[in-house]
Amino acid sequence: MDDIDYPAFRRLDLNLLVAFDALLREGGVSRAADRLCIGQPAMSHALARLRELFQDDILYREGAGMQPTARALALAPRIRRLLAEAQAVTRSAAEFDPAQVTGDFRLALTDPLEALLLPGLVARIRARAPGLSLSVRPIPASRQLEHLDAGNINLALGHFPEVREVHEVQLLFRAGFCCVFNPALLDMPSPIGLADLVRHPHIHTSYTGDAPGLTDRLLADAGLQRHVVAQAASPLAIPFVVKQSPLLAVVPDLVARLFAAHADLAIEPLAVAGLELPISRVTHRRERGDPLTGFVADQVAQAAATLFGEAAAGNSR
Q: What pLDDT does residue 310 have?
A: 59
For residue 316, being part of any structural domain is answered with no
Q: What number is the average pLDDT over the span 274-278?
A: 85
> Does 166 share its domain with 285?
yes
Measured from the Cβ of residue 233, the count of other Cβ atoms closer than 10 Å reads 10
> Does 285 share its domain with 305?
yes
> Does 133 share its domain with 281?
yes
pLDDT category of residue 70 using cuts at 50, 70 and 90: very high
> Does 212 share its domain with 229?
yes
Q: What pLDDT does residue 214 have?
A: 82
For residue 107, being part of any structural domain is answered with yes
Q: What one-character-per-residue DSSP string does the chain give?
A: --S--HHHHHHS-THHHHHHHHHHHHTSHHHHHHHHT--HHHHHHHHHHHHHHHTS-SEEEETTEEEE-HHHHHHHHHHHHHHHHHHHHH--GGG--GGG--EEEEEEE-HHHHHHHHHHHHHHHHHH-TTEEEEE----GGGHHHHHHHTS-SEEEE--S---TTEEEEEEEEE-EEEEE-TTT----SS--HHHHTTS-EEE--TTSSS--HHHHHHHHTT----EEEE-SSGGGHHHHHHHSS-BEEEEHHHHGGGTT-TTSEEEEE--TT--EEEEEEEEGGGTT-HHHHHHHHHHHHHHHHHHGGGB---B-
> Does 185 share its domain with 165?
no
Helices 15-26 & 40-54 angle (0-180, nearest 10): 110
Domain count, the chain: 3
pLDDT category of residue 74 using cuts at 50, 70 and 90: very high
Q: What pLDDT does residue 14 have?
A: 85
> Does 208 share its domain with 235?
yes
Q: Which residue has the higher pLDDT, 277 or 284?
A: 284
Lowest mean pLDDT among 54-58, 206-210, 259-263, 265-269: 206-210
Domain span at residue 182 reads: 177-270
For residue 1, being part of any structural domain is answered with no
> Does 33 share its domain with 76?
yes
DSSP bridge partners of 168: 283
| Summary mean pLDDT of the chain | 88
Q: What number is the average pLDDT over the span 241-265?
A: 91
Domain final residue, candidates 61, 91, 121? 91
Q: What number is the average pLDDT over the span 50-71?
A: 90
Q: What pLDDT does residue 7 have?
A: 81
pLDDT tens digits along 26-48: 988 999 999 889 999 999 999 99
> Does 181 share its domain with 258?
yes
Q: What pLDDT does residue 156 have?
A: 96
pLDDT tens digits along 117-146: 999 999 999 999 999 999 999 898 889 999
> Does 152 share its domain with 85?
no
> Does 64 share its domain with 113?
no
Q: What pTM did the predictor assign?
A: 0.69
> Does 254 share its domain with 216?
yes
Q: What pLDDT does residue 210 have?
A: 47
Q: What pLDDT does residue 216 have?
A: 87
Q: What pLDDT does residue 316 have?
A: 41
Domain final residue, candidates 91, 118, 143? 91
Q: What pLDDT does residue 93 have?
A: 56
